[in-house]
């Protein structure tokens, strides 16, 4: 139901009940436990953690407990975690911080990175700071490891590849790429924002000085060879505005981008106490959830159920990327509806109380197909009609079944209107 604001403009309808939210790669709802922890931080733990009086030190202790919880989520030691304002700043700190401590000026990355990585590297290259090398992907959306291998030489300062693609869910060969970088003596940064909190991670330093000497393939796939890992709280039911960087100890130095005494001198500025308390609470909950392997299996089956019903309801629909087990993270589905416009579908779904997102992170009004899907070789008629659906650990079977029905109805209505227009 629409309302009017004080200036007389019609407000956009706000759905408070009955909404089916399948856009969790954009953000997740903070859990009740996170909200409670942050409320306590705002009302009781409001002193400055740098103050030496008792109130300040109580807050400092709470921050360090949160740091411990975040470290446990990724298999690290607490002092290795640096808090920042989000995933984007964490990425900037990792990339710029490494470049500031080396004379090498080549960065290797992939064609399907998130804008936080892609635009940063493009900007650095446009200003003459670096040379960028862009590795291609295969039709599954997975980065070609052999291309990374060919691109690494003595001029490479850093390799940066995300753990899973936020648009298609394609799992990248992080283990193979990280071991390749290790053998070549090149630091490997992994954007873990779509992955951390949803899948197991073990960077291998929590109980091992300096990490694992010779990790197995399974350990490498869990992150044991990664040198820098970045992630963000709001992707796993924590608050927005807080993220973290993990740097492997005794390996690569990261020069701070904001000078100050906080975060052991690695990131200056008075700490975002409620945010840090919030990410700590979210990390504790995610660690508990991930401790039960059945959770991921159940979520994967739910995602597959959703796709099966969409393909039944929309005969022309196409799953973008591989449907092989383990090829995609459990929560992400990218589906193409040929010869339709994704923005039109998103708007119609929204009117029916279903939240999803267009497959492209393009600017407002642009109908260009997603660069990620283009890199995968998805035909333009499919790419332009592709949507991303992303589940959370709280998505229910009932929501999935109702969503599939709504999508089928909306796609049919749009096809009918397109036929009439033609």
* Catalytic residue IDs: 362
What angle do helix axes 273-290 and 32-43 make, rounded to 10 degrees? 150
Work out the burial of residue 73: count CB atoms within 10 Å of its CB; fewer than 13 is exposed, 13-18 middle, 19 or more buried: buried
| Contact of 146 with 367, CB cutoff 8 Å | no
Compute CA distances 118 → 108, 139, 151, 247, whole Å: 11, 20, 17, 21
* Beta carbons within 8 Å of 215's beta carbon, 6+ residues apart: 179, 204, 224, 225
* Beta carbons within 8 Å of 1's beta carbon, 6+ residues apart: 13
How many helices (H) and strands (E) in the chain? Answer: 13, 13
Q: Which helix (H) or strand (E) holds 310?
A: helix 293-313
The number of residues in the chain equals: 422
Work out the burial of residue 40: count CB atoms within 10 Å of its CB; fewer than 13 is exposed, 13-18 middle, 19 or more buried: middle
Q: Where are the beta strands (DSSP E) in 233-382?
A: 243-247, 318-319, 332-336, 354-355, 357-358
* Beta carbons within 8 Å of 46's beta carbon, 6+ residues apart: 59, 273
The candidate with the shortest Cα–Cα distance to 283, out of 36, 25, 65, is: 65
The candidate with the shortest Cα–Cα distance to 210, out of 241, 270, 251, 172, is: 251
Q: What sign results for the dihedral spanned by CA atoms 272, 275, 280, 283?
A: negative
Phi, psi of 142 (to 5 degrees): -90, 135
**What does the block give as tokens for 237?**
């039911």
Beta pairing class for 131-135 and 156-160: unpaired
**Rounded CA gap, 58 and 52, in Å?**
10
- 3-class SS of residue 80: helix
**Rounded CA gap, 390 and 408, in Å?**
17
**What does the block give as tokens for 274?**
């409620």
CA quadruple 222, 236, 248, 170: dihedral, nearest 10: 50
């Amino acid at each position: 139901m629409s309302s009017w604001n004080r200036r007389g403009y019609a407000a956009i309808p706000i759905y408070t009940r009955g909404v089916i939210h399948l856009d969790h790669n954009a953000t997740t709802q903070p859990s009740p436990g996170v909200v409670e922890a942050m409320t306590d931080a705002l009302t009781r733990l409001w002193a400055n953690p740098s103050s030496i009086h008792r109130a300040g030190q109580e807050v400092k202790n709470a921050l360090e407990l949160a740091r411990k919880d975040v470290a446990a989520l990724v298999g690290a030691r607490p002092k290795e975690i640096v808090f920042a304002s989000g995933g984007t700043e964490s990425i900037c700190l990792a990339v710029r911080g490494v470049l500031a401590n080396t004379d090498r000026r080549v960065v290797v990355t992939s064609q399907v990175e998130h804008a936080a990585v892609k635009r940063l590297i493009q900007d650095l290259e446009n200003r003459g700071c670096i040379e960028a090398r862009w590795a291609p992907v295969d039709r599954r959306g997975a980065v070609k490891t052999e291309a990374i291998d060919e691109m690494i030489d003595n001029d490479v300062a850093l390799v940066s590849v995300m753990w899973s693609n936020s648009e298609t869910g394609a799992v990248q060969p992080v283990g193979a790429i990280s071991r390749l970088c290790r053998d070549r003596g090149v630091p490997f940064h992994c954007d873990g924002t779509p992955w951390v909190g949803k899948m197991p991670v073990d960077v291998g330093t929590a109980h091992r000085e300096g990490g694992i000497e010779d990790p197995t393939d399974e350990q490498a796939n869990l992150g044991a060879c990664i040198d820098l890992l970045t992630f963000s709280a709001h992707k796993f039911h924590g608050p927005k505005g807080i993220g973290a960087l993990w740097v492997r100890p005794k390996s690569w130095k990261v020069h701070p981008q904001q000078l100050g005494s906080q975060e052991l001198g690695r990131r200056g500025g008075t700490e975002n106490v409620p945010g840090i308390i919030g990410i700590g609470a979210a990390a504790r909950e995610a660690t508990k959830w991930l401790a039960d392997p059945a959770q991921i299996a159940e979520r994967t089956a739910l995602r597959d159920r959703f796709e099966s019903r969409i393909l039944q309801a929309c005969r022309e629909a196409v799953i973008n990327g591989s449907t092989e087990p383990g090829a995609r993270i459990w929560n992400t589905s990218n589906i193409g509806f040929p010869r339709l416009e994704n923005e039109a579908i998103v708007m119609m779904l929204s009117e029916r109380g279903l939240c999803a997102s267009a497959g492209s992170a393009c600017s407002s009004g642009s109908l260009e197909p997603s660069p990620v899907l283009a890199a995968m070789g998805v035909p333009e008629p499919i790419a332009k009609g592709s949507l991303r659906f992303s589940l959370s650990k709280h998505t229910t079977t009932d929501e999935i079944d109702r969503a599939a029905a709504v999508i089928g109805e909306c796609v049919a209505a749009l096809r009918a209107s397109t036929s009439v227009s033609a």
